[in-house]
Structure 1
Amino acid sequence: MDANQTDFENPFAMDADCENCAELCGARDRVVHGYGDVGAEFLVVGTGPTEAAERNGVPFTGAGGGGERVQSIFADLGFVRSAPDAAEPDVQNLFFTNLTRCRHPDREPTDREVDTCEPFLNAEIRMINPQIIVPVGDRPLRELAVEYTTRRPDSFDVDAEHATTIRGRGFELVPMKEPSEMSDAEADAFCDHMRENVLSRDYRQTKGRQSR
């Protein structure tokens, strides 16, 4: 991690009391911003916090919403050094975040809520400047495709794009299926693709890090 980073949780000190979406303010328990290494070359983007992630205040944590599955996959790849059920995982070269920062207990995020949260995600992408973005699920893949690729959003299907590499503007996308819908074979395929096609080549650029 960068030498000047003091905390993994919401390291950019984004608004923890955000009230931009009136329908969510009374329904949520807390705002869940990004978590991880601010100098990361790998950024993982989900749709929104699960119940467990909201409870922990950390994206992609806890059982029931696939957090442990994602943690386990990245532990196998060497990015997570703690147990998959850790509420505050020990990560290196990795940052977890979501399209939206608040959870409604009864429904998925609306398009307006995704649009309202976009500046948070855009700021994280600009400040982290990742080399690889992993969109987890169809919605993050399509949202990122609009902004960062030249392909039409409706040309993407996460089932077909899972465990492949898509060239974006300034970085690459490596899509992952929703962990709750991913078979063991598909999880293995994602890890194999990362090892053989991403980690095996020189994707890195110098970004002024002092240590990791």
Structure 2
Amino acid sequence: MDPAQEHPDNPFGMDEECRNCPNLRDVRTNVVHGYGDVGADFMFVGGRPGPGADRTGIPFTGDDAGRRLQRILGDLGFSNSPADAAEPELDNAYLTYLTRCRHPDRGPTDEEVATCDAYLTADVRMINPEIIVPIGALALRGVAVEHTTRDADALSVEECHATTIRGRGFELVPMQGLSDQTDADTDAFVEHVAESVLDRDYRQTKGRSGARD
């Protein structure tokens, strides 16, 4: 983690009592802002908090989906903690969401995504990542519409899983939704990042050969 960073939880001091979405503010448990290394090259973006993160307030913790991502981070050398850690120790990875509150019975509406966009935009600007990993279809569409020249509605997370897509100033490496992944999907993602991203100087080659248009 960045040695100048005081703590990994909501390091930019975003509003933890946000009440901008009237249909979410009374049913959520926590507003779940970003967590991790503010000097990270890799930003992992989910669509919305899972039930575990809603309970703990820490992205991708407290449930099976979160434990899968934490295992992935460990396999890639981004985490020094066990997969079930309540506050994982991350290095070179920052975790955040497209939307920050969880409705227990439905996904976010387009209006809620738009309302939360300022938080994600601030995360991207503050972190300035080299690689963004959108997790799941909702996150892929949300990130692609702002940060690539691709038709976001035409992108399939199943087809784009464990590939690299050229973005505006960085690369996207989409990941299938954590609850939808098979072990083979997880292995394919880890292998792609380890061999096709980390095994080259991605800081110098982003947007060049090896990245899809």
User: TM-score category by the smaller chain?
Assistant: over 0.9
TM norm structure 1: 0.94
Q: Which runs of 5+ in 1 are unaligned?
A: 206-212
Counterpart for residue 152 of structure 1: 151
Q: Aligned ranges for residues 161-180 of structure 1 at < 5 Å?
A: 161-180=160-179
Give the % identical residues.
58
User: How many pairs were matched up?
Assistant: 204
* Aligned 8 A contact 2:30 2:56 in 1: no
Structure 1 segments (4+ residues) deviating >4 Å: none
Q: How far did residue 204 of structure 1 move?
A: 2.8
Report the Cα distance in structure 2 between the residues aligned to 1:69 and 1:101, rounded to whole angstroms. 20
TM norm structure 2: 0.93
1:191 matches 2:185 = no
Could you report, residue by residue, the CA deviation over 1:47-67 in whole angstroms, capped at 9, with x for unpaired residues?
111111111111111224x10
Counterpart for residue 58 of structure 1: 58
Q: How far did residue 105 of structure 1 move?
A: 1.2
Letter in 1 for 2:184: A
Q: How far did residue 2 of structure 1 move?
A: 2.2
Letter in 1 for 2:48: G
Counterpart for residue 49 of structure 1: 49
Q: How far did residue 72 of structure 1 move?
A: 0.3
Q: How far did residue 170 of structure 1 move?
A: 0.5
Q: How far did residue 3 of structure 1 move?
A: 2.5
Letter in 1 for 2:140: L
Q: CA RMSD in A?
A: 1.0
Q: Aligned ranges for residues 1-212 of structure 1 at < 5 Å?
A: 1-64=1-64, 66-204=65-203
Q: Which runs of 5+ in 2 are unaligned?
A: 205-213
